[in-house]
Chain A
Amino acid sequence: MDHKLFKKDVHWGEWLIQKALLLAGISSILIIALIFIFLFREAVRFFHTGTPMDLIGKWVYDDWEERNVFTMMWQSISEVPKYSLIPLICGSFLVAFPATLISAVLGIGCAVYLSEIAPYKVRETLKPALELLAGIPSVVIGFVMLAFIATFVQDLFHTKFRLNAFVGSLGVSLAVLPIMITISEDAMRAVPKELRDASYALGASKWQTIFGTVLPAAVSGISAAVILGFGRALGETMIVLMATGNAALVTGNIFSSVRTMTANIAAELGSVAQGSEHYYALFLVGAVLFTFTFVLNLFSEIVLSKMRQKLRM
């Protein structure tokens, strides 16, 4: 067996690099798994004292009406603490929905311009500018919203609350915009040139080609961008903490103050007694939020891989 065909080639450097990369990959998955486990373990402990019903609402004696009424409130510091998730989920969606809508409209428009219309030079200047937008710390966006835009919005719409879901969603849409643009632009550029050529060769104009060929072919990628953007919007913390007014109300009014799941955790977790019901309730909020964004990310990943399959020619 000492024929040369049986001698192994030894490349120690490659072996080392391979193992190091494997380790890096495994440890990042491990870290995510640990966060997952820790979060859910702490969250579940809420049920040692609380009931699932508490997460929706509680029957509380109302001094005004002089009878028990069902209240859906998050009131952690109170004689009868209330841990209803409804106002928080409501607040999160009331901010994330409009934010996603605004950034989708702006972002897809911008992506169409960048990928299909902008001359080379314009694109090469605009793209780095967008990276800059992505680099603005969210606390700065939040500050600008709180200090300036909120006043502007109040003057424009004569709202009751200066800080409200709409102001928050404007800020969040800015934070989500870069990822929305990047992913949908990538999706449009991934549409093979051959398809555009086929369209032009049939006598299509530029806009007919964009609407008839490019956008339909990129629709999964664009949907993925929107879903992912929605996940980001749900997860955004600093801007909503600063700009939405933080009143945990169950409302559908976009000009009302709201409190999101993220802002709720950020505002309360610092001052809570470890191991208390309140503490576990906050983890529960975190777990719910995590589940939402996890499912959204998973979904967008599936949609993206569908698109890659579809365009494979």
Chain B
Amino acid sequence: MIARTLAGGALADLDRDDVAQNPVKISVHDLNMYYGNVRALHGITMDIKERAVTALIGPSGCGKSTFLRTLNRMNDTIPGARIEGIVTIDGVNIYAPDVNVAALRRMVGMVFQKQNPFPKSVFDNVAYGPRLHGITDRAFLEHRVEESLKKSALWDEVKDRLHTSAMQLSGGQQQRLCIARVLAVNPEIILMDEPASALDPLSTAKIEELIHQLRKHYTIVIVTHNMQQAARVSDYTAYFYMGSLVEFGETKGIFTNPEKKETEDYITGRFG
């Protein structure tokens, strides 16, 4: 029996009980984040489960992308950005002074809102990450590329044109290529910032299907503006508003019976 959600549409038929038993992968404690003097995140505390999909929802500018970027320290590249609080992955504080940020980013991959393949061949795009880390063995790279493209459900579409430019792929294929590129460095966590917002419905469905597959092996945190999508793909949902975490819990609960009025208003579209 699949419950109708407040946002309309259905919840995904995920094996949610299984996920509830999973250990915590990412633990965020009292996280504040500043752009210069502007505070973008206010005391976020949440635990993200391993091998589950956690969706971040909320109105534009509420800090979803900012939060996501604190998890792989991409905010480090923004001048003036600064954080307070603790983020641990597998119990290790990723903001500890001697953390190897490159190694962290290998472990925590990121897929961006706008598909951003390199203007290189399909093969070179996927091999970019492994090559960064010193792998030059051709056979090994070929194997890794094929494996990653299969995992991202792109292999059949590109296996005959691995050496043509990635810019010739369709938008949806490019986005799956970007996912393959992340998978090629063997991450444990994948962050996705509105990965389907620039895509047509069919490509979006493919990405969602892919997220279902990946969920079994990776911890996924996804930002989305599409309530039905959040309901369809996620196990947990976090509602952000103005830099604060308003409500966080199992997607089933949030979408059928939210605790807070603001959450309900947002999900039902009476807000934002």
A and B from one complex: yes
Q: Report which A residues bind B (CB closer than 8 A).
A: 192, 194-195, 197-205, 208, 212-213, 216-217, 310-313
A201 touches B102 (CB 8 A): no
Given contacts A194-B112, A205-B102, contact A200 B118 (CB under 8 A): no
Taking CB atoms, residues of chain B closer than 8 Å to A217 are 118-119
CA distance A194 to B185 in the complex (A): 19
B109 lies within 8 A of A313 (CB): no
Given A200-B77, A201-B105, A313-B167, the answer on whether A194 and B129 have CB atoms closer than 8 Å is no
B120 CB–A CB distance under 8 Å? yes
| Inter-chain contact A198/B114, CB cutoff 8 Å | no
Please tell me if B128 contacts chain A, counting CB pairs below 8 Å. Answer: yes
Cβ contact within 8 Å between B119 and A202? no
Could you count the A-B residue pairs with CB atoms below 8 Å apart for me: how many are there? Answer: 70
| Residue pair A197, B116 in contact (C-beta under 8 Å) | yes
In whole angstroms, how far apart are the Cα atoms of A268 and B109 in the complex?
Answer: 67
CB distance from A123 to the nearest CB of B (A): 13
Q: Is the CB of A203 within 8 A of B105?
A: yes
Q: Is the CB of A201 within 8 A of B119?
A: no
Interface flags, B118-138, vs A, CB<8A=1, else 0: 111000000011011100000
**How many Å lie between the Cα of A195 and that of B101 in the bound state?**
18
- Select which of A192, A202, A205, A312 is within 8 A of B128 by beta carbon: A202
Is the beta-carbon distance between B77 and A203 smaller than 8 angstroms? no
Distance (whole angstroms) from the CB of B155 to the closest CB of chain A: 20
Find chain A residues with CB under 8 A from B109 CB. Answer: 201-202
Identify the closest chain B residue to A202 (Cβ). Answer: B129
Q: Are B185 and A203 in contact (CB under 8 A)?
A: yes
Please give the distance in Å from B165's CB to the nearest CB on chain A.
8
B227: Cβ under 8 A from any A Cβ: no
Q: How far is the CB of B97 from chain A (nearest CB, A)?
A: 18
Closest to A217 in B: B119
Contact A212 B114 (CB under 8 A): no
Q: Per-position contact with A for B170-207: 1 when CB-CB < 8 Å, else 0?
A: 00000000100110010000000000000000000000
The docked-state distance in angstroms from the alpha carbon of A217 to that of B181 is 18
Residues from chain B with a CB closer than 8 A to the CB of A199 are 118, 128
Q: Report the minimal beta-carbon distance from B80 to chain A, rounded to whole angstroms.
A: 11
In this complex, which of A199, A202, A208 has the most chain B Cβ atoms within 10 angstroms of its Cβ?
A202
**Would you call B74 an interface residue if the criterion is a C-beta within 8 Å of the partner chain's C-beta atoms?**
yes
- CB A203 to nearest CB in B, in angstroms, measures 4
A205 nearest CB across to chain B (Å): 6
B129:A200 contact, CB within 8 angstroms: no
A309 to chain B: closest residue by CB: B167
**Which single member of B102, B128, B165 contacts A212 (CB below 8 Å)?**
B128
Q: Can you name the residue of chain B whose Cβ is closest to the Cβ of A204? A: B132
Residues of B within 8 A of A203 (CB): 101-106, 129, 132-133, 185
| Shortest Cβ gap from B203 to chain A (Å) | 16
A29–B119 Cα gap in the complex (Å)? Answer: 35
Instruction: Find chain B residues with CB under 8 A from A212 CB.
Output: 128, 131-132
Within 8 Å of chain A (Cβ to Cβ): is B110?
A: yes
Residue of A at shortest CB range from B181? A202
Q: Within residues 136 to 173 of chain B, which ones have a CB less than 8 A from any CB in chain A?
A: 165, 167
Judged by a CB distance under 8 angstroms, whether B237 is at the interface is no
B32: Cβ under 8 A from any A Cβ: no
Residues from chain A with Cβ under 8 Å of B133 in the complex: 203
Please measure, in the bound complex, the distance between the C-alpha atom of A192 and the C-alpha atom of B114, giving whole angstroms.
11
- What would be 17 A-B contacts, judged by CB atoms less than 8 Å apart? A194-B112, A195-B119, A197-B116, A198-B118, A200-B105, A201-B72, A201-B110, A201-B112, A202-B128, A202-B132, A203-B102, A203-B103, A212-B128, A213-B118, A310-B119, A310-B165, A313-B116
Q: Which residues of B contact A213 (CB under 8 A)?
A: 118
> When the two chains form their complex, are residues A202 and B116 in contact, meaning their CB atoms are under 8 A apart?
no
